[in-house]
Amino acid sequence: MQVMQAAFDPVYGEAWNHSQTRSMLAMPLTHTIVAEILPRPPEAQPGEPIGFSMSRRIGDEEELLLIAVIPEWRQFGAGSSLLTQVIENAKDAGVGRIFLEMRSNNPASHLYHKFGFTQVGLRKNYYKGADSKLYDALTLALTL
Ligand SMILES: CC(C)(COP(=O)(O)OP(=O)(O)OC[C@H]1O[C@@H](n2cnc3c(N)ncnc32)[C@H](O)[C@@H]1OP(=O)(O)O)[C@@H](O)C(=O)NCCC(=O)NCCS
């Protein structure tokens, strides 16, 4: 939850609260991966969580619900590592496609396009920011 609160810009209201997160984690086939910075030596103390992903598998499809890295650790490859692991786990489970939905002006698109996601849908004015501005939602998909 600390990473969630630090990572999402409150303007867009995209962070999930504790209750939403707990409910999703309790559902079967929801997967969370946590990225940590490990101390040296690694066994000296617990790692520091700096990012996470959460996805849900339904049949042979997976939906990437959330992926986040705290601002101080962005653009060092943690987001790519998380997404690589999501894709590898999905392949191992026989998943055929991964979907996600994102706000159209989210720079996270750089990460998704780097991994080969392409746009398959558009919902006009789907998100409403705290500033009452409306933003389109893009649905992206990656065929594995
Ligand atoms: C999206 C997010 C998880 C990316 O994490 P990250 O650790 O910075 O990702 P990486 O360092 O692996 O970067 C992946 C690629 O995207 C590029 N990139 C990432 N953020 C970028 C930005 N703001 N502008 C331009 N390029 C960006 C990186 O340069 C990199 O490309 P490269 O390998 O060609 O250099 C992170 O920005 C974040 O937490 N955003 C807020 C939460 C969010 O909106 N999540 C997505 C919706 S659920």
Domain that holds residue 36: 2-143
> Which residue is catalytic, options 12, 48, 101, 126?
101
Q: What is the CATH number of the domain that holds 119?
A: 3.40.630.30
pLDDT digits (tens, 9 = 90+) for 68-122: 999 999 999 999 999 999 999 999 999 999 999 999 999 999 999 999 999 999 9
Instruction: For residue 127, indicate whether it is catalytic.
Output: no
For the chain, how many structural domains are there in total?
1
Q: Is the CB of 56 under 6 A from ligand 1?
A: no
Only one residue has tokens 């849908």, namely 121
- Give the closest residue to 59 by CA, choosing from 23, 28, 22: 28
Tell me the CA distances in angstroms from 119 to 28, 92, 99, 106, one per residue in order: 28, 24, 10, 14
pLDDT digits (tens, 9 = 90+) for 121-138: 999 999 888 888 999 999
Give alpha helix (H) positions in the chain: 2-7, 18-26, 78-92, 109-114
Contact 13, 129 (CB under 8 A): yes
* Amino acid in position 24: M
